[in-house]
Amino acid sequence: MYRKVGKPVLFLVILCIAAITYLAYFGLWTSNGDVVTYLINPISKSRFGIDINGGIDVTFTPPKGTKVTQKELDDATTMLKNRLDAKKILDREVYEGKDLNNPSITLRIPHQSSTTTFDPETEIKELGSMVQLVFKCPEYNNGADIITGKDVQSAAVEVQSGSYQVSLTLKSSGTKAFADATKWIHDNSKKLSIYLDNVEVETAGVDNEITDGKAVISGGFTATTAKALAEKINSGSVPFELVTDNFSTISPTLGKSALRVMVTAGLLAFIIICLFMIVYYRLPGLIACIALCGHVAGTLLAISWPQITLTLPGIAGIILSIGMGVDCNVITAERIKEELRVGKTLDGAIDAGFDRSFTAIFDGNVTVIIVGIILMWLGSGSVQSFGYTLIIGVVFNFIMGIIASRLMLKSVSKYSPARRDALYSGRVAE
Amino acid sequence: MKNSANSSAQSAAALMDDKRTRLNIDFIGKRKIYYTISISLILIGILVSVIFGVKLSIAFTGGAIFKYSYTGDVDKNAAQTVVYDTVNANRTNKLKVSTQTDVIKDTNTNRLVFSVSPEKGGEKFSISSTEQQAIKTALQTKFKDNKIDISETRNVNADMGSAFLRKSILAVLLASALIVLYIWIRFRTIGGLPAGLTAFVALLHDVMMAFAAFSIFRIPLDDNFIAVVLTILGFSINDTIVIYDRIRENRRLYGSKVHFKDIVNKSINQSFARSVNTTLCAFFAIAVICVFSIIYNLDSIRSFALPMMVGVITGCYSTICIAGPLWVTWVTHKEKLAEAAKQNKKKLSPKKA
């Protein structure tokens, strides 16, 4: 592949790198009137983690000592997802803990830019609230539950003579039980009580046996509360109480400021490293800088295009992988220097330099991949992002630092002004 | 290749004459010095952590930290009382609250920082989101004109914390094992086991140094510590592999006529410039992050960048001064044993000599 690398190759490679950089910064979009749709997301439209956007990271657990089956955990997760859907929170991460002896569900929700106030406690409370819906009568079946939220098919808001109610349609599992209960209660002139989260919201007599599986909860609802309740019931019943004592919140203003700082740091680091490389390694150093540009652009694109979550440690990972990525250029440049010192021709030195350094670069990068994978497996959101950027950094290191660099260097060395040994080794060949 | 491997006339002198590098430091000879420096630093780190205690962040112990932004002037003590009363309203196991202030330089925002921990050390506790809401409301009521708002909060349930600690330690062990295994396999042609083990010792050395850095700078160990340790492992081994690769190549080149000690020495000299420069670049990158995080008060990044800076340097040092020399020590020791065994054999059966 490297046999015949002609002069034009240099410009081809630089063009490719420029294209990637353009895409990373501007993205690819089509506009339809006022609506802009992105085919490739630029870095500014990355999916940022909550430490940049602000938001909530909460882990729900059942009360200590409660045993939970996998199905119950899955049900709870579905319920949480439904609630998030109902609130139109589409950008989110929801995942279950893997250890069933310590069941947990973790939610990560970035701050919604549409809302102006940041009120994480209320949001967490609403998401995790129980909505334990129970119909019972103390005298019937010793006060056992007649209907619970599990038996409800759907709930809807109804207006009855100016007041708001929530009407319930029961599943077939609940219809018969309800029919039996209401018949008994009616016959015995007892009262039916409705409990919401263990708080009694309504007690009423029953006019007749209810066989059609429809029930109504009325009792001082406003339009908002009725809607909220219907939504909660519809999103599914909660098999167990969700305890929320493991959570972090970050305000949006804090995050934005951190992002600015990190981006500036990154730019500065990039400039310092480039200066160093050019001064110390001259022509190979310059090539390294171009390759580095491609490396960073490629990494950014690999994050923004698939909308992988980018957190502050993730950005630190990008900056670090710049420092580590330049390594392969250093190894190669040193090797070329050496080969020239030993007396090889320029072309021979360049080839030998790249060939000899490959194994060392390869082994070193594989170990970084090992570390990156472990970090992704172990870490919480922010550390996972760091692991991901490390791995992506290695991939682009291979592409830019090895392949692109070699193509560019071989190509540029074909130009006569670039054929002075001093440009590669800093000294005239002995 | 001009210097052919098959020439038995290659001697240590000729090897030293190789023009590949002008550097000619006897790293191997001075190795006792390096061992001493490393052991001392590690001991200092351990001493500091024993005397001053190892600070584990709430990520591992469980606990709560609340940071509220405010404008104007707020009496810290009054604020602390408000939080203390709210938090202990329904508790038998009282919690204590400590208060500090910090500033977000970028936007010039002042913040109150409340750390909540049990009065009786080691007791598990947790703050629910309802309690957090109560704290915020209480503060906002008391300090109506100061625009108190949530900046950042973190609540970690103690059980989650210890589970995470276990997982982290497991990750470090796993990473180390995989890396050592990888080296063993890749360098099996030149004696994989000592290569793997000496690399492992170098890694261990780096982890202890990172730990010492956290101890001495009084940074609580948190999830960033784990990320730092793992990254240092990856970076340091990168370095070590480059030198081992060179040792392998020189071994192939100069055969076993040249003593291993000289091969390693030469290899280190040859890779020295590269090790230093790469470390320098990585150092620039992380130093910039570190400086910015200190200036702008980004705690979470600082707790990551500062030890990483130390780790990058020790990674380079451990590669040059520990891994290679240790391997030589191993080989020399084995040779001494073999030589002693030979001498014993000669003594036992003089006729065969």
Between B17-26, B236-245, B310-319, the lowest mean confidence (pLDDT) is in B17-26
* Residues of chain A positioned with their CB less than 8 A from the CB of B163: 99, 102
pLDDT tens, position by position, B208-248: 888 887 777 777 777 777 778 888 887 888 888 888 888 88
The rounded radius of gyration (Å) of the Cα atoms in chain B is 28
Distance CA B181, CA B193 (A): 9
User: A368, B107: Cβ pair inside 8 Å?
Assistant: no
CB atoms A243 and B128 under 8 Å: yes
User: Which is nearest to A266 in space by CA: A305, A309, A308, A310?
Assistant: A310
Instruction: Read off the tokens for B193.
Output: 């086991």
CA nearest A280 in B: which residue? B277
Q: What is the mean pLDDT of residues A316-338?
A: 84
Would you state the pLDDT for residue B1?
43
Closest CA to A267 of A315, A326, A310: A315
Q: Is the pLDDT of residue A66 over 60?
A: yes
Q: Residue A363 has what pLDDT?
A: 79
CA distance B300 to chain A (A): 9
pLDDT of residue A321: 81
Cβ contact (<8 Å) for B292 and A264?
A: yes
Question: pLDDT tens digit string along A226-256?
Answer: 887 777 777 665 667 777 777 888 877 777 7
Neighbours of A351 (CB within 10 A): 18
pLDDT digits (tens, 9 = 90+) for A191-204: 888 877 777 777 77
pLDDT tops 50 at residue B6: no
- % of chain B beyond a pLDDT of 70: 90
Which residues touch A111 (CB under 8 Å, ≥6 apart)? Answer: A50, A53, A54, A55, A56, A118, A251, A252
SS (H, E, C) chain B: CCCCCCCCCCCHHHHHHCCCCCCCCCCCCCHHHHHHHHHHHHHHHHHHHHHHCCCECHHHHCEEEEEEEECCCCCHHHHHHHHHHHHCCCCCCCEEEEEEEEEECCCCEEEEEEEEEECCCCCCCCCCHHHHHHHHHHHHHHCHHHCCEEEEEEEECHHHHHHHHHHHHHHHHHHHHHHHHHHHHHCHHHCHHHHHHHHHHHHHHHHHHHHHHHHHCCCCECHHHHHHHHHHHHHHHHHHHHHHHHHHHHHHHHHHHCCHHHHHHHHHHHHHHHHHHHHHHHHHHHHHHHHHHHHCCCHHHHHHHHHHHHHHHHHHHHHHHHHHHHHHHHHHHHHHHHHHHHHHHHHHCHHHC
Do residue A251 and residue B150 have CB atoms under 8 angstroms apart? yes
Q: What pLDDT, on the 0 to 100 scale, is given for residue A275?
A: 92
Of A118, A269, A370, the CB nearest to B284: A269
- Who wins on pLDDT, B280 or B96? B280
pLDDT of A2 reads: 61
Work out the minimum CA distance from A43 to partner chain B, whole angstroms.
20
Cross-chain residue pair B288–A104, CB shorter than 8 Å: no
From chain B, the residues in CB contact with A244 under 8 A are 128-129
Q: Which tens digits make up the pLDDT trace of B98-139?
A: 888 877 776 778 888 888 877 766 666 777 777 888 888 888
Task: Round the average pLDDT of chain A to a whole number and report it.
Answer: 80
Find the closest chain B residue to A361 by CA distance: B242
In this structure, of A85-89, A115-119, A134-138, the range with the lowest mean pLDDT score is: A115-119
Is the Cβ of A274 closer than 8 Å to some Cβ of chain B?
Answer: no
Q: Which amino acid is at B108?
A: N
Q: Do A245 and B288 touch (CB under 8 A)?
A: no
In chain A, the largest separation of any two C-alpha atoms, in whole Å, equals: 112
**Neighbour tally for B200: CB within 10 Å:** 19
Chain A from 150 to 169: CB within 8 A of any B CB? none
More confident residue, A253 or A410: A410
- The A191-196 sheet, strands edge to edge: A145-148, A133-136, A191-196, A199-205
CA distance B2 to chain A (A): 9
In sequence order, the 6+-apart residues with CB closer than 8 A to the CB of B193 are: B184
Four-residue CA torsion sign, B338, B339, B343, B349: positive
> In this structure, are residues B162 and B60 in contact, taking their beta carbons and an 8 Å threshold?
yes
Q: Is A267 at the interface with chain B, CB within 8 A?
A: no
Residue B27 to residue A88: CA distance in whole angstroms = 64
Give the residue on B whose Cα is nearest the Cα of A430: B19
Among residues 191-220 of chain A, which lie with CB inside 8 Å of chain B?
none
- pLDDT at residue A290 is higher than 80: yes
Contact A276, A330 (CB under 8 A): no
Selecting from A99, A247, A257 the residue whose C-beta is nearest the C-beta of B155 gives: A247
CA atoms within 13 A on the CB side of B289: 32
- How far is the CA of B73 from the CAs of A59, B145, B322, in angstroms? 35, 9, 54
Token duo for residue A105: 């569900």
Do B282 and A277 lie within an 8 Å CB cutoff?
no
Q: Which residues of B touch A316 (CB under 8 A)?
A: 289, 301, 304-305
- CB contact at 8 A, B200 and B207: no
Name the burial class of residue B24, with classes exposed (0-12), middle (13-18) and buried (19+) by CB atoms within 10 angstroms of its CB.
exposed
Residue B4 confidence (pLDDT)? 44
pLDDT digits (tens, 9 = 90+) for B41-87: 888 888 887 887 777 777 777 788 888 888 888 888 888 888 888 88
Which tokens in the block code for residue A277?
Answer: 């490389």
Q: Closest approach of chain B CAs to the CA of A356, in angstroms?
A: 9
Which of the residues B281, B283, B291, B299 would you substitute to probe the A interface, choosing the one with the greatest number of A C-beta atoms within 10 Å?
Answer: B281
Between CA B136 and CA A118 the distance in angstroms is 12
Nearest CA in chain A to B68: A251
Half-sphere exposure of B29 (CA within 13 A, CB side): 6
How many A×B Cβ pairs under 8 Å? 238
- pLDDT at position A378 is 74
A275–chain B Cβ distance below 8 A for any pair: no
CA A134 to chain centre: 37
Q: Is 0.90 topped by the overall pTM?
A: no
Task: Give how far B153 is from chain A: nearest CA, Å.
Answer: 5
Q: What is the ipTM of this complex?
A: 0.75
B/e letters for B287-312, b = 16+ CB within 10 Å, e = fewer, are: bbbbebbeebbbbbbbbbbbbbbbbb
B170 chain-A contacts, CB cut-off 8 A: 378
Q: What φ, ψ does residue B130 adopt, rounded to 5°?
A: -65, -45
Chain A residue at shortest CA distance from B158: A246
Residue count of chain A, please give it: 430
Mutate to test the interface with B, among A59, A107, A118, A320 (most CBs of B within 10 A): A320
The band of A272, judged by pLDDT with boundaries at 50, 70 and 90, is: very high
- Give B7's pLDDT tier (boundaries 50, 70, 90): very low
Average of per-residue pLDDT values in chain B: 79
- Chain A residues within an 8 Å CB radius of B70: none
Contact between residue B69 and residue B108 where contact means Cβ atoms under 8 Å apart: no
Share of chain B above pLDDT 90, in %: 0
- Quick: pLDDT tens for A1-33: 566 777 788 888 888 888 888 888 887 777 777
Residue of B nearest to A370 (CA): B175
Chain B residue numbers touching A401 (CB-CB < 8 A): none
Q: What pLDDT is stored for residue A427 in this prediction? A: 54
Q: How far is A226 from chain B (nearest CA, A)?
A: 22
The verdict on a CB contact (< 8 Å) between B296 and A261 is yes
Instruction: Give the mean pLDDT of A168-174.
Output: 81
Residues on chain B touching A342 (C-beta within 8 angstroms): 2, 18-20
**Contacts with B, A 344-363, CB within 8 Å:** 356, 359-360, 363
Q: Which residue of B has its CA nearest to A250?
A: B152
* Contact between B305 and B295 (Cβ < 8 Å): no
